[in-house]
Amino acid sequence: MTSHPRPQVPAVHGPVAFDALPGALRNVAYSGARHPGAAPPECPSHTADGPAGLTGGANCQRYAYAVLYHFGLLIPPLRSAELWADRRATRRADPPRPLDLVLFDAGPVADRPPGYGAHLGVHLGPDQVLHLCREVGRPAVWRYADFAARPRYARFLGAKRAVTANSGAAAAR
């Protein structure tokens, strides 16, 4: 664990908040193979100090978890359905607040748990979601209508809020 304090919840929202992120979080390439739970050596999901680096790219989940980690919030390496069901590291959030995870999908999938294959982003503020997707290839800030206009993201499944900080203390948000 690092001993230096993490930045606080951003005071600004949307593209301005994105511009304030370090370059390592603004210049990540999309890679569907680099997801939570992917096997080493290609893609260790977490180290003892939190999410592994993004140098080789990331999928939406891995990227969102790295953004939260930058702000002092640790999410275990959960796939989307595991995250949606999780009650230990996260809780459902309605309405979403800055730094809540938001999940989008195309609707329920037969014989799959809720949240299976959902796309993750980070709510930055009113009508602003930071995410990483194959379509853009790099991190982007979209409005909720941008997700709704795409069939694979058309349903807003909901939001999840981290309940623990890197130090193990409750996140004060």
pLDDT value for 102? 97
Query: Does residue 172 register a pLDDT over 50?
Result: no
**Which range (11-20, 72-81, 125-134) has the least confidence?**
11-20
Q: Which helix (H) or strand (E) holds 85?
A: helix 80-85
Name all domains of the chain by residue range, CATH numbers in brackets: 14-162 (3.90.1720.10)
The share of the chain scoring above pLDDT 70, in percent, equals: 75
Confidence of residue 53 (pLDDT cuts 50, 70, 90): confident
56 three-class SS: coil
Q: CA 59 to CA 21: how far, in whole Å?
A: 18
Contacts of 151 (CB under 8 A, 6+ apart): 106
Range in 8-12, 93-97, 99-103, 160-164 with the lowest mean pLDDT: 8-12
| Whole-model pTM over 0.85 | no
What is the mean predicted confidence (pLDDT) over 145-151? 95
Given this model, what pLDDT does residue 35 score?
Answer: 58
Determine the Cα–Cα distance for residues 152 and 104; give it in Å rounded to an integer: 8
**What pLDDT shows up at residue 37?**
56
